Amino acid sequence: MNIGVIGKRGSGKTTWAHRLVGLEPPARPLGTATLNYLACAIDGQDVLVWDFPPGICEHTKGVLNNMDWVAICYDGDTIDHIAEAVHQLAPAARLMVLVTSRHIGSVLHLCHLHNGPLARVPVCLDPSQAWECL
Ligand SMILES: Nc1nc2c(ncn2[C@@H]2O[C@H](COP(=O)(O)OP(=O)(O)OP(=O)(O)O)[C@@H](O)[C@H]2O)c(=O)[nH]1
Ligand SMILES: [Mg+2]
């Protein structure tokens, strides 16, 4: 299974990619310039967690379409436009939202997303919630 972790610069993608595979995240992650993956097994299933560079560019948009899940990091700003782009580029991928712990207090900003592409999308505050969705 392939899980792509995407979002804007500094939104916590590298930190979340580590958490999703059960690793301690780097204390001071360097900005991600190239697409990387981390491998693990979740419930006996081989999983690759892909840590995307910020945004969606020409180089990474083709890869998105190979993802079973696309996880959007939420850092307090709207992610509607990102969800819309994923919907276009990877229509078969399932979406989830990963909230960086710094922004737990602003999770209410997701409440307007009742309709549109984020309706019924799981919102995860910790890795175990994400694992349950897979
Ligand atoms: N307190 C807190 N800090 C976080 C969290 N997630 C990330 N950070 C910090 O935020 C900064 C950016 O985190 P990254 O995981 O590198 O974010 P990124 O989206 O991979 O960044 P780019 O690759 O540059 O786009 C780092 O200093 C992290 O330690 C979180 O959940 N809580
Ligand atoms: Mg990164």
Instruction: Name residues with Cβ closer than 5 Å to ligand 2, which is an ion.
Output: 13-14, 32
pLDDT at residue 107 is higher than 80: no
Tell me, using a 6 A CB cutoff, whether residue 60 lines ligand 1. Answer: no
Asked if 36 and 50 touch (Cβ cutoff 8 Å), the reply is yes
Say what the pLDDT of residue 109 is.
61
- Domains of the chain (ranges, CATH numbers): 2-133 (3.40.50.300)
Model-wide pTM > 0.85: yes
Say what the pLDDT of residue 51 is.
98
Say what the pLDDT of residue 92 is.
95
Tell me, using a 6 A CB cutoff, whether residue 29 lines ligand 1. Answer: yes
* Three-class DSSP category at 45: strand
Testing ligand 1's pocket by substitution, the residue of 5, 14, 82 carrying the most ligand atoms inside 8 A of its CB is: 14
Closest CA to 91 of 56, 119, 65: 65
- pLDDT (mean) for 26-46: 96
- Calculate what percentage of the chain has a pLDDT beyond 70: 89
d(CA 70, CA 130): 11
- Ranges of beta strands (E only) in 2-124 are 2-6, 36-42, 45-51, 69-74, 94-99, 123-124
| Whole-number average pLDDT of the chain | 90
